[in-house]
Amino acid sequence: MRRAIVEEHHILSGRYSMSISTMVRKQSPAPEGANAAVVSWVDEIAAITLPDDVVWCDGSAAEWDDLARGMVASGTLTRLNPEHRPYSFLARSDPHDVARVEDRTFICSAKEEDAGPTNNWREPGEMRTTLGRLFYGSMRGRTMYVLPFSMGPLGSPLAKLGVQVTDSPYVVASMGIMTRMGTVALGLFTDATEWVRAVHSVGAPLEDGQQDVAWPCNDTKYITHFPESREIWSFGSAYGGNALLAKKAFALRIASVIARDEGWLAEHMLIIKVTNPRGRVFHVAGAFPSACGKTNLAMMVPTIPGWTVETVGDDIAWLGIGADGRLRAINPEAGFFGVAPGTGFSTNRTAMDTIWGNTIFTNVALRDDGDVWWEGMSDKAPDHLTDWRGYSWTPASGRPAAHPNSRFTVAARQCPSISDDWEDPRGVVIDAIIFGGRRATNVPLVVEARDWEHGVYLGATISSERTAAAEGTLGELRRDPFAMAPFCGYNMADHWAHWLSIGAKLRKTGAVPRMFQVNWFRKAADGRFLWPGFGENSRVLEWMLDRVDGQVPAEESALGLVPRSSDLNLDGLDIADEDIAELFAIDKKSWLAEAESTERFFATFDGRVPASVQRQLAVLRQKLG
């Protein structure tokens, strides 16, 4: 047994080899001209996982159609009524495989302190031994698909390449939507290319003659990241970010480490293009934790005349300093993996218009007419549905029809608000950066940072108040610095230091984006929201971008710069003066208590919090008096 464990560890360490021809029953040849290092690596993984077949994916429409037809035949997908939702499909996952598994997600850096207190850490050698046991023979009876892909526009200096292998056709189809995948990406690999290696298995090998299930997975799950060697190994889940390894695993956890090492930023941020009535174009990046209005802002329809908002990206931004010395950003993804519940024509018409067809829906409800439905899609639920588990459902059932984390996967190019520069290989110039949490108290509607260092402090202290006793103490702050707590691949305090270093470089060029904090969710004492949100948030965007454009002054407060009452556009908005006052009220006692909480949070980083971030906390206390 000890020898077997050692051999398995050697397999994942790259010090063990087998003849693939003796282990794989059938193998399609690698495409002509495929990079030798990629081919060799694929052979090594096949020798570990022992699939029946190896298929190199070309990313073509014909290939996608073949995959979809196969999954319909196997029961993984249900084809929706083409009259309502052309060329779209519904997937129902295993009820135990429905979301990211943060407690099974690990950063396996060489030193534990490099992972930091916001990550789960495992010693790399120990984890490789564990994975060796799990992955050996894990694809037996299945096909291993090889997915070369580009994160970012093909050939962009800000883009990065990767290869994922997987035994899930659902993952292949989804990666074909979410990335630039296939032959076009494989052709970019050279001997000098640095690329990310990603291995995924559902962990459900099949014996000869064994009947498969519609959604294979394993109760044992690991989503592991090796930052130094740029590897991702995921076992047991076929759902979302656990399995679409180009998304959070590569584009944030591994990419954040690459970005730190190379001098750029990989962030959990939307990117929008905003044009004002004078024709001035701005690009804005925004970091928002989940349930804080991020997708709605990315696809906003402004309510104020003359302003337009276009979508560059809804979830992830890679930002680097361009040849012109300005901060530029790309959306590394090619699709949207959006949360369905709460998305409707009254909340996000743009998203609804995006998913008219050519979409994979996962764990939503099925209407009797062959279309989909979820909570929030319409004001009134249909009289009868088939719920996300496949059971009959009526409004009297007393349970959600769609899973709260149900999703839609759709190409970004289908979005009617997609910007014409969303694939600019140079990246778009970022004029402003926004941080936002979900706060019922304390945080004003909008605050501008005094400078870059203050902006980093605002990003480091993003938080949301817990809203139910089941989630913890009511009113307790859930810290999510830079909206990156589940996604930063290294010590979060070092992440703040890296942001400070980027700011120092930008100051030398004189092109430093303005930084702001927003809060759409402040409540009155009676529990109602003080601000209407959604499209009305364009009024806050107007003030922020008028600040960037030098059109309006601002007033100093203890928290930063805030609008004068006359400079926030409230025309046509039915909101009481006292509600506006409450939106910007600063309660000294509450803020001093929050400063104490922030100090305790900083202490968890064992002295690694940058001195300038600590100084911002001291400045806050001083200004509060």
Which residues are CB-neighbours of 178 under 8 A, at least 6 positions away? Answer: 244, 246, 247, 333, 334, 335, 337, 409
Report which of 333, 297, 337, 330 is spatially closest to residue 417, judged by C-alpha positions. Answer: 297
CA-only gyration radius of the chain, Å: 25
Active-site entry in 57, 217, 292, 415: 292
Rounded CA gap, 457 and 610, in Å?
10
The pair of structure tokens assigned to 577 is 């003066």
CB 167 within 8 A of CB 202: yes
| Strand blocks (E) in 317-362 | 317-321, 327-330, 335-339, 360-362
Q: Where are the beta strands (DSSP E) in 85-230?
A: 89-91, 105-107, 143-151, 160-166, 180-181, 195-201, 222-226
Q: Are 200 and 234 in contact (CB under 8 A)?
A: yes
* Nearest one of 199, 232, 204, 233 to 217, comparing CA atoms: 204
Active site residue 57: no
Q: Is the dihedral of CA 198, 204, 206, 211 positive or negative?
A: negative
SS3 letters across 542-559 = HHHHHHHCCCCCCEECCC
Question: Which two tokens mark 442?
Answer: 């304390």
**Measuring CA to CA, how many Å separate 329 from each of 195, 257, 312, 332, 435?**
20, 17, 9, 9, 16
The answer to whether the Cα torsion of 214, 217, 223, 224 is positive or negative is negative
For residue 176 the two structure tokens come to: 């074909």
The dihedral built from the CA positions of residue 583, 588, 591 and 593, taken in this order, carries a sign that is negative
Give the active site residues.
Answer: 292
